[in-house]
Amino acid sequence: MNTKLRAVSFIAWLALASVAFAAKPDKAAIPAVQPGQAQIVFLRHSVVGAKANTLIYETTSGQPKVIGIIPNNRKLVLSVPPGDHVFMIGNLPTCDFLQASVLPDKRYYAVVVSRWPDGFTLRPVRNAEAPQGGYTFKSEEFPDLLKYTTLAGRAPDSYVQSELKNAETYYPGKWQQWQSKTGEQKAMLTLRPEDAES
């Protein structure tokens, strides 16, 4: 192969490589908020319970519905109608809940917090000052939560069906138990309209 032909081949290879690179999706990028909807981004990045997977459910209707799986170092992006919602996280029978009141065309964040040995809870990210153990957009941890998490994939159907059966069994009692929390405790576990990313 002469020098000119090698040069042409190399340029062609570079062109193909650049196209392939440009087409590669950014697995850390959060998609745009859908018009008229609210978006909630669940973030998980922790050394505690790092090997354990867990599911997030929406229980607004009173019936658990699997949203998706969230392994460690992942982000789960959910589009919901504006209004009030309730979410549940955990590997049943251990679980916790997060209430959310969200506005259209806004993005909200919640952090998955691991509790030793196998529990999980959800903490809202606040625009204003958060109580001890809480998160704000100005928290030192927040940039890392965005940077070191990639979009979560799809959970295996067999795993979802197995966990959903557990959720349907344990949900009524766990929700009733959660309702006994004080107003202050519930407030710590609630995403408010004003918590939207500005």
| Per-residue confidence (pLDDT) for residue 8, from 0 to 100 | 39
Are 76 and 31 a contacting pair, CB within 8 Å? no
Selection from 112, 142, 103 nearest residue 126 by Cα: 142
Site of tokens 């964040």: 109
114 conformational bin, left if phi > 0, alpha if psi -120 to 50, beta if neither = beta
User: What does pTM read for this prediction?
Assistant: 0.85
pLDDT by residue, tens only, the chain of 198 residues: 455 544 434 444 434 344 343 445 577 889 999 999 999 999 999 988 888 889 999 999 999 999 999 999 999 999 999 999 999 999 889 999 999 999 999 999 999 998 877 789 999 999 877 666 689 999 999 999 999 999 999 989 999 999 999 999 999 999 999 999 999 999 999 999 999 998
Using alpha carbons only, what angle is made at residue 16 by residues 147 and 19, rounded to the nearest 5 degrees?
40
Question: Residue 163: what pLDDT?
Answer: 92
pLDDT in tens, 65-107: 999 999 999 999 999 999 999 999 998 899 999 999 999 999 9
pLDDT at 2: 55
Token reading at 185: 């405790």
Quick count: other Cβ atoms within 10 Å of Cβ 37? 15
Tell me if 138 sits within 8 A of 41, measured CB to CB.
no
Distance CA 136, CA 194 (A): 12
